[in-house]
Amino acid sequence: MLRIEGLIAAVFTPVKENGDLNLDVIDQYIDHLVSQGVLNVFVGGSTGEGASFSLAERKQLTEKWVTAGSGKLQNVIVHVGGISVPDSQDLARHAESVGVQGISTLPTVVFKPKNASKVAEHLKMLYDAAPKTPLLYYHLPGSTGVDILIEDLVNAVEKLGVPTFSGVKFTGANLKDFRRSIKLFGDKYMFPYGCDEQMLCVLPLGCRSFIGSTYNYAGHLYNKLIESYKNGDMEMALKLLDKSQSLVGVLFAHSFDSGINKQVMSLVSGINMGPPRHPIIYRQDDEMKKVRCELEEAGFFNGIY
């Protein structure tokens, strides 16, 4: 069973200028996360550009996060999803063999599952490959087009029997479904939320864990937001939410994707993440200069957190 409270950074995948993995940077990266109170990572998801790397590279990446994170991080969750189920099973088997705390998968997006029962069958295939490792479903309907109700999925999983099922990473807009999932199943499974700039909207729904990209470089902000909410200081919590939304606003003004986000990570953290693996999402220097100014104007470098 996987139970995590607080922030889980959806980590970027550092590469060299030629696009090869740059695993050496990960030690420094982990120290940077820990210094912000971020002790859990989600590796190779959409932020980590998992789909742009080969199976061999994804395995190397998993091994590095596990070994470098040992004694520093609390949980390493690895995204093993992809187009091919046997490839995902291979990644799941590998992740289990090196001792990750959890695995996660998006649905297959070419041959899309038509309903919650089909998603449950997919999860069962990953359980077969990694029968000892907690498994999270990654709900991202806006990108995958697989728009099932999570309440239905949990019922289908329980009917089918997927002993490692541990919950759902929820990056969807249906907050009724999200609340019902927490209400009905929150004592058995975790439901980390995936829309950073809406964190304050889901804290009152009982959400206690969050997987997101901006926790990589604004971990202090979000940790303070959670603390303010817990202490009943809604004025401060709202101020911090507004700050998060200004930050994300800059990213969206530059056609948000994993590329601009990764380049902002390098800018803010001072750790060189390298370019995005896929060249079509790379921003040139002149654009990044503007991004820097806009982040400064949004008060991001000298903020209230």
Ligand X SMILES: CC(=O)N[C@@H]([C@@H](O)[C@H](O)[C@H](O)CO)[C@@H](O)CC(=O)C(=O)O
- The residue sitting closest to ligand X, measured at its beta carbon, is 45
CB of 131 to ligand X, least distance (A): 24
Active-site residue, 290 included: no
Q: Residue from 36, 105, 166, 213 that binds ligand X (CB under 6 A)?
A: 213
Residue type, 94: H
| Nearer CB in complex with ligand X: 14/212 | 212
Catalytic residue among 127, 137, 138, 189: 138
Instruction: Say how many residues make up the chain.
Output: 305
Q: E-assigned strands of 19-158?
A: 40-43, 75-79, 102-105, 135-139
Count Cβ atoms below 10 Å from residue 10 Cβ, excluding itself. Answer: 27
Contact range with ligand X by CB under 6 A, out of 45-53, 82-90, 179-187, 278-286: 45-53
Contacts of 21 (CB under 8 A, 6+ apart): 13, 14, 15, 53, 57, 60, 61
In three-state secondary structure terms, 210 is strand
- Side-by-side strand order, sheet with 209-212: 165-170, 135-139, 102-105, 75-79, 40-43, 6-10, 209-212
Active-site residue, 169 included: yes
CB of 37 to ligand X, least distance (A): 17
CB of 225 to ligand X, least distance (A): 13
Q: Residue from 214, 216, 228, 263 that binds ligand X (CB under 6 A)?
A: 214
Q: Residue from 33, 36, 40, 45 that binds ligand X (CB under 6 A)?
A: 45
The two structure tokens encoding residue 250: 């800059």
Count Cβ atoms below 10 Å from residue 267 Cβ, excluding itself. Answer: 17
Letters for 48-87 (x = contact with ligand X by CB under 6 A, - = none) are: x---------------------------------------
Q: Does residue 195 belong to the site contacting ligand X (CB under 6 A)?
A: yes
Q: Does residue 219 belong to the site contacting ligand X (CB under 6 A)?
A: no
Residue type, 138: Y
CB of 251 to ligand X, least distance (A): 6
Q: At what angle do helices 258-269 and 234-253 cross, to 10 degrees?
A: 120
| Nearer CB in complex with ligand X: 44/69 | 44
| Nearer CB in complex with ligand X: 127/210 | 210
Q: Does residue 46 belong to the site contacting ligand X (CB under 6 A)?
A: yes
Let me know: does 250 contact 294? Beta carbons within 8 Å: yes
Q: How many residues bind ligand X (CB under 6 A)?
A: 16
Count Cβ atoms below 10 Å from residue 247 Cβ, excluding itself. Answer: 23
Catalytic residue among 59, 64, 169, 262: 169
Q: Note the Cα 44 to chain centre separation in Å.
A: 8
CB of 89 to ligand X, least distance (A): 20
Which residues does the annotation mark as catalytic? 138, 169
| Interface positions with ligand X (CB under 6 A) | 10, 42, 45-48, 171, 194-197, 211-214, 248
